[in-house]
Amino acid sequence: MPFNDQMQPEILRPVSNLFIITSIAGALLLNALPWQGLWLTLRPDFVAVALLYWCTHKPLRIGIGLSWAIGILADVGDASLFGQHALSYAVLAFGGVVLSSRIRMFNLREQTTQVFGILLLTYAVYAIVHWQVNGQLVWSYFLGCVSSAFLWIPLSFLFQSMRQMRVDRE
């Protein structure tokens, strides 16, 4: 199956607010898992990818303010500097909302390169805040940006398959 999701028109169900909240809550739980060692370095930011998906596909429902609030929850859950995730997620939401039409115009493979740029900026904001507070820049943290970008295609398939109408071909 090719990655071009624009070849076959599909009917998607309207997204309920409960589905969006459940997907973001699940992403928060995945971020809260006890990652250690190399896995902690390679861990994708599940919340960032889920927020970016909803900011690009439903920009009128998920925006900068809600992303900021989710970032505050992520800061509390991660026990990090208060507002660090919130600022990063607000930048992510801004990029997702502003570029939503452009990102949806591409197929999934090409979307991944666009998403990687937004995630790289998000991780850079997080790293700059960490550098200003702690005085050191952790370069290995950017490996999570690559794994987050690779998570875009499976997450898009998952969310779209859950929204597809089941059409009887007969």
Task: Give per-residue pLDDT as tens, 20-29.
Answer: 999 999 999 9
> Domain for residue 122, yes or no?
yes
Residue 108's domain comprises 17-163
> Domain for residue 42, yes or no?
yes
Task: Give per-residue pLDDT as tens, 40-88.
Answer: 889 999 999 999 999 999 999 999 999 999 999 999 988 888 999 999 9
> Domain for residue 137, yes or no?
yes
Task: Give per-residue pLDDT as tens, 131-153.
Answer: 999 888 888 888 999 999 999 99
> Domain for residue 3, yes or no?
no
Which ranges in the chain belong to alpha helices (H)? 17-31, 38-42, 46-57, 64-78, 84-98, 100-105, 108-134, 143-150, 152-163
28 CB contacts (<8 Å, ≥6 apart)?
46, 47, 70, 73, 74, 77
- The domain tally of the chain equals 1
Q: Which pTM was predicted?
A: 0.87
Residue 169 has pLDDT above 60, yes or no: no
> Domain for residue 63, yes or no?
yes
> Domain for residue 1, yes or no?
no
Residue 1 has pLDDT above 50, yes or no: no
Q: Residue 47: which CATH number?
A: 1.10.1760
Query: Residue type for 167, please?
Result: V
> Domain for residue 65, yes or no?
yes
